């Protein structure tokens, strides 16, 4: 894994749009069913909006009904980090980019075997934290 990217808030604000900054640096969200990637079927790799690290592959994306892009696996175990989030009176697992700590959403273990995966972890969150690098076709 590459070393952590550390920037001050002013540098992130200069690099990102206001909405990207809100979601990735301030742990915000976008309204469900409004994001650019919620319903896309395009083949490719989803990369971190902030640092470009590959996070998820389109083959692991599925329609969870949550209103946000959902994946059942990251590109690698090292691509994302998880930490406990107790905000909003809930106990959840937040998912972050392991390279720059960008907020990517939350992971939910729903215990189903969707798509032949024995234990499904639903990585879902605002699409603004990722950008799709399309596969040449």
Q: Hey, which residues are catalytic here? A: 124
Residue 106 to residues 69, 79, 83, 137: CA-CA distances in angstroms? 11, 14, 9, 31
Contact criterion met (CB below 8 Å) for 125 and 66: no
Q: Please give the full DSSP string across 5-25, using - where no structure is assigned.
A: P---HHHHHHHS-HHHHHHHH
DSSP assignment of 45-92 equals EEEETTT--EEEEGGGEE--SSSS-EESS-SSTTTEEEEEE-GGG--E
């Amino acid at each position: 894994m590459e070393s952590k990217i550390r920037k001050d808030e002013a540098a992130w604000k200069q690099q990102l749009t206001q909405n990207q900054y809100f979601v990735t640096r301030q742990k915000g969200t976008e309204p469900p069913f409004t994001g650019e990637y919620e319903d896309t079927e395009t083949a490719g790799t989803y990369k971190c909006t902030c640092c470009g690290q590959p996070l998820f592959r389109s083959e692991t994306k599925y329609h969870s009904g949550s209103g946000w892009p959902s994946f059942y696996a990251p590109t690698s175990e090292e691509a994302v980090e998880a930490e406990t989030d107790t905000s909003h009176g809930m106990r959840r697992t937040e998912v972050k980019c392991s390279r720059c700590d960008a907020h990517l959403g939350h992971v939910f273990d729903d215990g189903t075997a969707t798509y032949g995966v024995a234990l499904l972890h639903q990585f879902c969150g605002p699409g603004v934290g990722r950008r799709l690098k399309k596969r040449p076709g």
